[in-house]
Amino acid sequence: MHGQTNMNTRTDVLIIGAGGAGMMCAIKAGNRGRSVVLLDHAKKVGGKILISGGGRCNFTNLGASPNQYVSQNPHFAKSALARYTPSDFIEMVQAHGIEYHEKKLGQQFCDGSAQQIVDLLLTECKGAGARFQLETRVEQIERLPEDSHPLRFRIITKVEVFECESLVIATGGLSIPKIGATGFGYDVAKQFGVSLVERAAALDGFVLKPEDETRFGGLAGLSFDSEIRVRDKVFREAILFTHAGLSGPATLQASLHWYPGDPVIVDLLPEMNVFEWFLSKKKSGNKSIVRNLLSELLPSRLSERFCELYFKDIRPLPDVSEKELKSFCEILKAWTFVPKETVGYSKAEVTRGGVDTDELSSKTLESKKMPGLFFIGEVVDVTGWLGGYNFQWAWASGAAAGAVV
Ligand SMILES: Cc1cc2nc3c(=O)[nH]c(=O)nc-3n(C[C@H](O)[C@H](O)[C@H](O)COP(=O)(O)OP(=O)(O)OC[C@H]3O[C@@H](n4cnc5c(N)ncnc54)[C@H](O)[C@@H]3O)c2cc1C
């Protein structure tokens, strides 16, 4: 169904959003012989890929499984993830001669730059015959009448009108509006009566309540290894104090699982029985003050702040009762606070929530009530942990739709 009239273009597949998910879908569909147009309002494709992983793109995670995704239906991602695995993407990376390495915990990064991943996708899209239509804003989407079959949608832009059989929405989430994130995908869902799961900025860290900001703001820049717990999820990595709150990988992970009002619990000394440690010092006749002893275990600024707040007494250890020590150690093992909020879309790596998975086929990502309409990537209510999982979802959901559009 190729062919183009002046301002009217017919295409088998029209994909709105040329990010990771959209481009993967274009590759798979184009390689099946389908005509594909990728439409994006941005000047360049793959803007998020370019800023990802500190410019090196953490493009997948070897351990990716449905367990690292948050969704109202935790089973939904299984099918797509099983059919397009981290090894499938790595195979492409290798075929394009891109050098890469594992940083930690299964996370795969380019040795060079994220641009290599964008170039890989562009090359593959071109090889699959996909056409890019950038800097283009969609003004209207219409459902065509039944007798237009197999055409099902009309997409109106200022200069061109597209008619297509399959319309794929791959416009991502709301995070980082300054590089072009919009709520477009959610608006399309609403237009066609597809329900949404409430959205929130995630993988963005926490802002402390004013009273806690006063207490801990002075620790800005301090990073330490810890264990952070939100609901039933526990993450062991670095926490970083900022001027207004907490960041660092462990905190970003925790923010994905946090809902307003939830307490956040931090173990400042994971894997250590700090009470026993103090007791053994006490039994061996150590006469230091608690503040100095604690500095052997924690960065001194942190140790000082916690002692100022929770253990004001500066008596030497022999004069401190076991009961006093115990209650202080309980705070060190479970420092608890309720954040004011998460940092927000200006910093968030992802948007939690989105198109309700109940509305979509888990095999094809097609809308159940609107045949021919697909939602892929971050716009869907499937959100990965930090560590390459979100790109793996973009590739896998794009590939799943690309196999049928
Ligand atoms: C700073 C940062 C770092 C990250 N690092 C990583 C990482 O290392 N590893 C990882 O797995 N994940 C990472 N992520 C998350 C990851 O980038 C996203 O989950 C992923 O890019 C989602 O892919 P997508 O194709 O669904 O959407 P996107 O990549 O967001 O693509 C959406 C496309 O749609 C276009 N678009 C939006 N609105 C419209 C509209 N109205 N009209 C036309 N086009 C529109 C946009 O211009 C964009 O090109 C990071 C995110 C951020 C913000």
Q: How far is CA 163 from the centre of its chain?
A: 33
Residues 260-279 pLDDT 10s: 999 999 999 998 999 999 99
Supply the pLDDT for residue 1. 46
Which residue is associated with the tokens 């500190």?
A: 54
Atom of ligand 1 nearest to the CA of 180: 47
Query: Contact at 8 Å (CB) between 63 and 379?
Result: no
Ligand 1, CB within 6 Å, residue ranges:
16-22, 40-42, 47-48, 51-53, 57-58, 138, 170-172, 175-176, 180, 182, 184, 349-350, 377-378, 388-391, 394
Supply the pLDDT for residue 5. 42
- Is residue 319 scored above 70 in pLDDT? yes
Residues 71-91 pLDDT 10s: 999 999 999 999 999 999 999
- Is residue 313 scored above 90 in pLDDT? no
Tokens representing 96 are 């394009």
Q: Does the global pTM surpass 0.85?
A: yes
Tokens representing 397 are 């959901």
Nearest to 205 by CA among 259, 254, 262, 265: 254
Residues 366-394 pLDDT 10s: 999 999 999 999 999 999 999 999 999 99
Architecture of the domain defined by 8-200+353-402: 3-Layer(bba) Sandwich (3.50)
Q: Domain ranges in the chain?
A: 8-200+353-402, 205-343
Residues 24-71 pLDDT 10s: 999 999 999 999 999 999 999 999 999 999 999 999 999 999 999 999
Protein fold of 205-343: Elongation Factor Tu (Ef-tu); domain 3 (2.40.30)
As a whole number, mean pLDDT of residues 162-188 equals 97
Phi, psi of 365, rounded to the nearest 5 degrees: 65, 15
